Structure 1
């Protein structure tokens, strides 16, 4: 492209010196670029002296080709720059399935603030890799896993508390439960990405490896199974907050607090972030600071 620019500017301005001045480089560089272009093509494009230049027949056709290519590239660069700088267009957001209500409320508020930006919410399918959300074609992700790749731009949002829950009917017939070790005597409902349950009480920490009676890839399924008296489920508090308030589920072993998870917002690495993505990134951070999880 640099060689093509040198060639086109030299023809338009009638000399290598004028082209060099327009491009902000030395005359020697312009001459070398044109020579390299001719060497690559295996033809002479112009006959040049210290005072003048004249296109060959091949050079005339190649000049029009190069001029057209460079013009189209410049137009596309400008178009992309405008799209990047405008607060409009489409973007896609990936979030865990259990965050359906929270993510929907977040994006509804965002659209009200920026009506020319059209977000698409994609729930579930959270990949294990740092670049997973990019491979799924998403601009931004609400992530509950720490992203080890420093090239991904990730911001901490809020800690998600968890609660150990069951139906009252299950607890009425179940074995007594006062410490994590007692979980081995219970039917356990497990999200299969969470292989270890961790609890803390009065400065002590205990870990437990659950052997599931029932497992699923979504907390929605575990909540339904718990409400149908199948067993104990370790759940994100926002998902079961209403169930606990209404008595459909009860908190179990409240003296032992489950470890929570940090919620992150992640965007792609690289050059400048498009305006619509940057606006959403800023909005997400402010929204969670105000509303919590």
Structure 2
């Protein structure tokens, strides 16, 4: 498929596609409820068959869609594809009754297959995130916690590399944003499962350094000394006390990338992630409420001052 041609006809904003997805998901939900009322979803084999038919049908339509209509039809196909896949998994669980690790392994394998058979970019966004979450749970089942920081380092390098060229993001934005979301969510996973993995958390900082170094090589030559100083001050002053919260450093990497590329989406996504990680750190700190308040106030003020300073130097350079 000619990517250039596809980009030329792609005019609808991403949020229009998201609204189309949720609209079709609501319609599909009513259809599934209708099947359930008629007791057509009681058999595991029937669920597998219905799900497989839905998966194959949406995959075929994805391949046969014309470029001019793909953008408006993709969210609808994705919605019915995900619902068909959910029905298929319900049937698979009922028929085979697999263990949790087997179920996760099957899901990861299927996501890998779906990534290549489905041309919908929005579908690839969900496929990558779904497969990544299953991978994290699978690693947790086998207690392979040491792989978490290595995954973070690899994802950080991917995020920095893809953010170098704005054209790469425009070619496949869903691929880039799915990697960013996986990167930001990775460090929240141990908190969700209440894992006590101090060594792996400390190792995360060292494995994020290559991405920071790579980012500095690409970014600092384009910046003034004042901006470079602001970034370095943010890293050294803020993150030394936050050694147990690598998610804050990961979110800050995305925040800097968003500012340098003037990306509204990345900047605000990083802000949400920072708020989430700061709140998590606040409730996990074993100290007095007064110290927590001082700590959060100081950290938040540093971010605000860095952001204000960045904008001031931007205006000075433009004038």
TM-score range, shorter chain: under 0.3
More strand by share: 1
More helix by share: 2
* TM-score in terms of structure 1 length: 0.23
* TM-score in terms of structure 2 length: 0.21
